[in-house]
Amino acid sequence: MLTDEEFNQWFYNRNLSEQSRKVLEEIRSSEPSRRVGGGKKNVSGRYPSSKMGVTIQFESHKVELPFIYQAEHDEDVLEYYDQPPSIKISYQSENGRNLGFYITPDFFVIRTKSAGWVECKTETKLQELAKKSPNRYSLAEDDQWHTPPGETYAEQFGFFFRLWSDAEVNWVLLRNIEFLKDYYHA
């Protein structure tokens, strides 16, 4: 985790607004906004993060846990928080109705040169959601998933909003991290 001095320097170097600072300070000082739970198709749990000095919740061992492993071992990731405070997104449905509701993204990540929300989903789920709500979920030509309402919300603060799918999981890296976890902790 960043010290207060390191955070202030990071923030100063990003040239972000005071509104952005308030959002960051709320995220950094808050407990997770909700407790995750398991379901029929997912396995939830907690990961003891050395980087963050706390346990990080995950709701899916197939998508969120691999994201945690990668964030934990990615030198570009300075901090990451599970279940940050809810945000309100707005968009127009296919039939022209204006929709607006609160969502709780899975993570908020502070990287060396950026910060933003990350929502983790399976590739299959994203494909289903894109058919159901194409104005909210879409696959771009660069093969990256996007959520325009989330991205619009994040841009007002100078942040990103990223959809991260299981197609991005580096399974070899994940197996190596699992295999070497005792070595890393020593």
pTM for the structure as a whole: 0.91
- Considering only CA atoms, which of 108, 127, 124 is closest in space to residue 116? 108
Domain range spanning residue 42? Answer: 4-185
78 and 10 Cβ atoms separated by less than 8 Å: yes
Q: pLDDT for 12-38, tens place per residue? A: 999 999 999 999 999 999 999 988 876
57 and 65 Cβ atoms separated by less than 8 Å: no
Largest CA distance in the chain: 56
Q: How many domains does the chain have?
A: 1
CATH number for the domain harbouring residue 164: 3.40.1350.10
Express as a percent the part of the chain with pLDDT over 70: 95
Give the ranges where the chain is alpha helix by DSSP (H): 4-14, 18-29, 64-73, 123-132, 148-155, 171-185
* pLDDT score recorded for residue 82: 98
Q: pLDDT for 91-134, tens place per residue? A: 998 888 999 999 999 999 999 999 999 999 999 999 999 999 99
